[in-house]
Homo-oligomer: A and B are copies of this chain.
Amino acid sequence: MTTAKRDTYTPESLLTVAVRVFNERGYDGTSMEHLSRAAGISKSSIYHHVSGKEELLRRAVSRAIDALFAVLDEPGACEGRAIERVEYVTRRTVEVLMAELPHVTLLLRVRGNTKTERWAMERRREFDQRVAELLTSAAADGDLRADVDIRLATRLLFGMVNSLVEWYRPHSGGGDEEEQLAETVVRLAFDGLRTVPGDAHRG
């Protein structure tokens, strides 16, 4: 039985188990023993696939980081007015967050005790910085409220977007629900909850 299980493990399925355990117990609180028990394979079998738990963390957060940075290279993020590009990036960030929920959750929870954690935090800051630059361009175009500090706006925007990992759970609803959710985040962040003054009856 143990042998059969071991044979069926791949680096990918081991990663799935590791991400789940890291999110449940915290990365610091997870030992190779915990991973071994959760995967139902021996520690030496795990070492057959990876050098240790830090490699599993690096692989897991890389997946989230790569997906987020890929958004910045998409045409919608590179072409057109800055305000449209930052709305596009916000929408796609929400979509990536939903598609890669366990990996992004892990990324958002790392706290910087190891080299890999510090690297992940640095990459997160780089991503936030790229979005802040788009917001700065949008402000220069006169498309952003002049009374909002960009640094603060970036933090609040990501505060709202990242909160999804706390409460969003995929439903059978699938594509439609996810599209609706991403659209709501963009509308709230850029247009606000309030109807435009004098526009109350158009709603």
Contacts and interface: CB of A to CB of B under 8 A. Distances in A.
B193 A193 contact: no
Given A189-B188, A191-B194, A192-B189, A203 B146 contact: yes
Interface string A120-159: 0000000000000001000001111111110011011111
Contacts of A201: 142
A164 B144 CA distance: 22
Interface stretch (A2-10, A64-72, A179-187): A179-187
A57 interface: no
State how many copies of this chain the complex holds: 2
A23 to B, nearest CB: 13
- Interface of A, helix, strand, loop or mixed by DSSP: helix
A116 interface: no
B148 A195 contact: no
A152 B181 contact: yes
Contacts of A188: 148, 153, 156-157, 189, 192
A192 B192 CA distance: 4
A166 interface: yes
Contact of A155 (B147, B163, B187, B190): B163
Given A146-B203, A159-B161, A159-B163, 18 more contacts: A83-B194, A135-B193, A142-B203, A143-B195, A145-B191, A145-B192, A145-B195, A147-B184, A152-B184, A156-B163, A156-B185, A159-B159, A159-B160, A159-B164, A187-B192, A191-B192, A191-B194, A196-B196
